[in-house]
Amino acid sequence: CDIRSLGCEEKRELLATIEQAVAFVTTMIFQDGSSQLSSEQVLTSSVKGVVVLVKNQTDHPCPPSYSSTDCTWNAANENDKLIYLKTEWSYLWEHEQQAHEKFAWQVLFQMLHSKVPIICFNAKDFLRTLLQVYSNEISWKQVADSIVLDPRIAAWLINPSDTVPSFECLIQKYFEKPFSVETVNTDTGTLRNASYQNLGANLEKLYNVMMDLTRDLQVQGLWKLFCTLELPLIKILAVMETHKIHVNKQELKKTSEILGLRLKDLEREAHEVAGEQFLLTSSSQLREVLFEKLKLHTLCEKVHRTEMQQLVSTSEVVLNKLQDLHPLPKIILEYRQVHKMKSTYVDGLQMCMRKGFISSTWNQTGTVTGRLSAKHPNIQGISKHPVRITKKHYIRGKEEEIVTISPRTLFVSKKGYTFLAADFSHIELRILADLSAEPELLKLFQEPETTDIFSTLASQWKGIPNEQVKQADREQAKRIVYSVVYGAGKERLADCLGITPLQASQFIESFMQKYKKVHEFTKKTIEQCRNKGYVVSIMGRKRPLANINAQDYKLRTQAERQAVNFVVQGSAADLCKMAMVEIFTSVVISPTLTARLIAQIHDELLFEVEDSQIQEFS
C-alpha cells in the first residue's frame, strides 16, 4: 500500500507492525521506473520513492489493516506488509505533502533504529540517499546504529572473482525458474498493481536469497568477516559519499595550463629529434618512428612484443630500455606521465566537480583481494608525491624554471578544518615478516623508526655495511620484496630493474636463500592452495584459484603468484578496513569528535578534522 492513502489509525497500526518486524527488505524506485533490482538501472535517474517489504513474525498476528486497492500483492506470509514511501515531492499541496513526508521519514527512522536487519541490494546507495534526502532530519552518526545486510556483498565474499553480481544472477543461482524485473510505472506517482505485485515477489526472493547466503557464509567460515568488516563498511562508505571535498578551482585551472604547455613543448621536442611530425599518443606512429626509421630495437637486447600481433612493443618497459640510445624514448616517457596527470587527475577532476567540490563513488566489491576502489574521480590514483615540471620561457635571456606540482594541494579543507592523513608504514612487508616468521625481517621492524627499511634490507641481503648501500642496491631489494608480495615473475622484475630475466632469477634465488622462512612461507601457501583450491587472508577472506593445479605451466605459475599475493595483499586490505571501522566507531560514540573520513588510499586514511580537535583526534 501507498502510505499516502492511510488514515490516522492505519498509520498507528503500521508503526506497530514495524515495531514487531523481524526484517525489512527494501529497494529504491527511480524516476525512470527502474529499481535497485534492475540491471539496466540508470544511475543518473533521481529517486522517486522506497518500497519496503516488512517481514513479521508469524506468532505475532497483525490484523490486515490495508484494504486499499493499491495493494494486490499476495504475501508469502499474510502478516508481511508491502509499503511504498514516496521520497520526492513537488511544491503543490504543500501542507498535505509535509504530513506525508513527515510520516515517510518516521517510518524510515523507525526502521533504521529497530535493531532488526534492513536487507537491500546495493545497501550503500540506499543509506547514502536517505542521508541526502533527509539531511535536515538525520546526522551521519545516526546511520551507524542501523543493521544492514547486502546480498551483493555476501555473494562477492563467497565468489570474489564475480565483482559485480547482479540481482538477476543471484536469483537464477538460487531459484530454478526464470523471473523478470519489470520497471515500475511512476507517471501517476503511485505503483501500478502488476508492477507492485512483481516487486513484492522479487523482494520476497531477495529475502530468501539473503537467508541462503547467510547459511553459505556460515558454512564457509566467512560470517565473522561479513559482520565485523564488510557490513560496517557499507555505512562508512555511504557516509563518505555524502561528504563534499572542496577543490581549488583557480589552482586546478593554473595546473591544467602548465601541464598543457609542457605537453606542447614535449611534442615540439619529439618532432625535432625524430626529424618528422607524428602523433605522440599513437602507438603505431611511434612504432614506425622508433623501429622502422630509427631502428632502435636493433641496438639493444631482446625487446618485448605485443601479445596479439607480435609487434615490437612501445610500452614503458621498452622505452626505459631504449632511453640511453636516443633522446626520443625519454621525451615520450615524460609526455605520457604529464598527459596522464593532465587528462586523468586534473581535467578528470574538473569533469567530476559539482559546484566547486567532488565526492568519489566507492566500490566495495571491485577487487578480488578485498581492496576498495573509487571512481568519479578515482581519488586513490591522485599522487601524494609532488611532480617537477620544466616550464620553458620563449623570451631571450629568461631561463626555464622548474615548477613543482603537488596534486593533493588542489583539495582545500573547509574553513576551520584541516586535512589529516594517517597511514600504515610498510604494511605488506610487515605482514610478510609476520606470516613467514622470518627472524631477519622481524628484526627490521625492531629498529628505530628513523632507519630506512629498504637500505637495511639491502645491507642484510648483500652482507654489506649500511653506509655502503647504494641507491641501486636499495632499489633492487625493494623490487624483489614487492615482486614476492605482488606476485611478479622474473620477467617483470627484469624489466623493472633493467636486467636480464636470468639475472632477475638469480637475484630472487639469492634473496630466498638469505630469507629462508619467506621461501618456506611461499611454498607452504602454494601447497595449501593446491590441496584446498583456495587461499585465506588474516581475517578469513577467501580466494578460490581454479588454475592452481592446471597442466598449463603459464596458468599454474600465475595462480601460484596470485596465491601468495592474495594472502599478503588481502590481509593488508583487511587491516586497513579494520582501521576504518575502529576509527569510525570511535568518532560515532564520541560526544565531541566530528572528524570525517573522506578517502581511503589503500594503506592511508584521509580525514577532515576540526582545527580544535586535531590533537584529540590524532
- pLDDT for the residue numbered 176: 58
- By CB atoms closer than 10 A (0-12, 13-18, 19+), residue 499 is middle
Q: Which range, of 56-70, 455-469, 483-497, 604-618, averages the lowest pLDDT? A: 56-70
141, 414, 493, 587, 610 from 592: Cα distances, Å: 12, 18, 50, 8, 11
Helix (H) or strand (E) holding 54: strand 47-56
Mean pLDDT for the stretch of residues 519-538: 96
- pLDDT for the residue numbered 68: 32
More confident residue, 243 or 479: 243
pTM above 0.85, yes or no: yes
pLDDT of residue 150 exceeding 90:
yes
The span from the CA of 30 to the CA of 45, in Å, is 6
Which residue is it, cell 591544467? 256
- pLDDT for the residue numbered 73: 44
pLDDT of residue 37 exceeding 60:
yes
Confidence of residue 449 (pLDDT cuts 50, 70, 90): low
More confident residue, 46 or 614: 614
pLDDT of residue 566 exceeding 80:
yes
Mean pLDDT for the stretch of residues 335-356: 90
- pLDDT for the residue numbered 71: 37
Q: Which range, of 26-35, 313-322, 449-458, 536-545, averages the lowest pLDDT? A: 449-458
Strand partners for 53: 25, 82
Percent of the chain with pLDDT over 90: 53
Confidence of residue 196 (pLDDT cuts 50, 70, 90): low
Among 584, 580, 582, CA closest to 595: 584
What DSSP line would sit under 258-294, residue for residue? HHHHHHHHHHHHHHHHHTS---TT-HHHHHIIIIIIS
pLDDT of residue 64 exceeding 60:
no
Q: Which range, of 39-53, 61-75, 205-219, 483-497, averages the lowest pLDDT? A: 61-75
The domain ranges of the chain are 3-242, 246-412, 449-565
Q: Are strands 357-358 and 417-423 parallel, antiparallel or unpaired?
A: unpaired
- pLDDT for the residue numbered 600: 95
Instruction: Tell me yes or no: is domain 449-565 CATH 3.40.50.10300.
Output: no
pLDDT of residue 394 exceeding 90:
no
As a CATH number, domain 246-412 is 1.20.1060.10
pLDDT tens, residue by residue, 395-432: 566 677 888 888 888 999 999 999 999 999 889 999 99
pLDDT of residue 256 exceeding 50:
yes
Q: CATH homologous superfamily of domain 3-242?
A: Ribonuclease H-like superfamily/Ribonuclease H (3.30.420.10)
- pLDDT for the residue numbered 60: 39
The span from the CA of 281 to the CA of 192, in Å, is 53
Confidence of residue 203 (pLDDT cuts 50, 70, 90): very high
pLDDT of residue 21 exceeding 80:
yes
- pLDDT for the residue numbered 480: 85
pLDDT of residue 185 exceeding 70:
no
- pLDDT for the residue numbered 112: 93
Mean pLDDT of all residues in the chain? Answer: 86
